[in-house]
Amino acid sequence: MAEPAQPQRRTRSKRSADSRQLILDATLDCLLENGYARTTTLTIQARAGVSRGRLLHHFPSREGLLVAACQHLASTHLAELENWVAVSLDARGSDVDRLDRVIDLFWSTFEQRYFWGAIELWTAARTDERLRNTLMPEERRLGTAVRHVIDALFGPTFSSNPRYPMVRELLLTSMRGVAMTYTFDRRDRHSDPHLAIWRNLAYLLLEDAAPAVASVPLQHENSHN
């Protein structure tokens, strides 16, 4: 009956770490569901299922909690990225349709939890200096990591192209810009008219033997921002 390791011996540090995890996760959940303005310490503590004392013991101020949530969001996403590149790398096929698949995959990241959490924090950081100072170094580090992942996704065939940095930046920023419009305009992400543009961009600038896709069949019935 003797447990081999330390059994239910609830070490204090373990429980403490659990608390932080619980609270930080709840904070990000709340941020995604209710937005920054309605992310109050009360809703967070309710969502996390912790007492007021427990929350305030770990995060004495709301601002500190939000700042910590930044770092938590960043490190979580960084871990996801590590995973993601491992999964995506073995899905390598011919170069022909690789561009399409990479772009689809790339675009799909802009509906992930991280993206919207980041947008809430970025927007709040604009008028909150402390948040901004926390966010900046984290996001810079993340930016580097994201670009490494993207490079791996495209593979050496494309990423060695002298035009590749340009294409990567355009895709990354353009996708972010398009994703922003989904705040008020909810439509199917998989049929976004910009997908055709992004594919075309990649074809035109990365495929030396460019396919016969010169003009863009862009139908703008309703103008999408």
Positions touching a copy of itself (CB under 8 A) are: 33-38, 116, 119-120, 122-128, 131-132, 135-136, 139-140, 142-144, 146-147, 162-163, 165-166, 169-170, 172-178, 180-181, 183-185, 194, 197, 200-201, 204-205, 214-216, 218, 220, 222-225
Residue 11 within binding range of DNA, rule CB under 7 A? yes
Give which of a copy of itself, DNA, none residue 190 binds (C-beta under 5 to 8 Å, depending on kind).
none
The partner in contact with residue 69, picked from a copy of itself, DNA, none with C-beta cut-offs of 5 to 8 angstroms by kind, is none
What single DSSP character describes residue 214? -
**At CA 46, angle to CA 44 and CA 51, rounded to 5?**
100
Contacts to DNA from residues 193-212, by CB under 7 A: none
Q: Using CA atoms, how far apart are residues 42 and 34, in angstroms rounded to an integer?
A: 13
Q: Which region, left, alpha or beta, applies to residue 35 given φ > 0 means left and ψ of -120 to 50 means alpha?
A: left
- Is residue 50 close enough to count as binding DNA by CB under 7 A? yes
Q: What angle do CA 215, 94, 98 make, to 5 degrees?
A: 50
Give whichever of 50 and 102 is closer to a copy of itself, judged by the CB atom.
102
DSSP H helical segments within 90-128, as ranges?
95-108, 113-126
Closest CA to 150 of 76, 194, 85: 85
Tokens 């060695």 appear where?
Answer: 160
Q: Which is nearer to a copy of itself, 54 or 122 (CB)?
A: 122
Tally of CB atoms within 10 A around 110? 19
Residue 71 C-beta: closest distance to a copy of itself, Å:
13
Interface residue with DNA, options 21, 35, 60, 140 (CB under 7 A) = 60
Cβ–Cβ under 8 Å, residues 77 and 142:
yes
**Residue number with CB closer to a copy of itself (20 or 163):** 163
Contact positions vs DNA (CB under 7 A): 9-13, 15-16, 18-19, 38, 40-43, 50-54, 56-58, 60-63
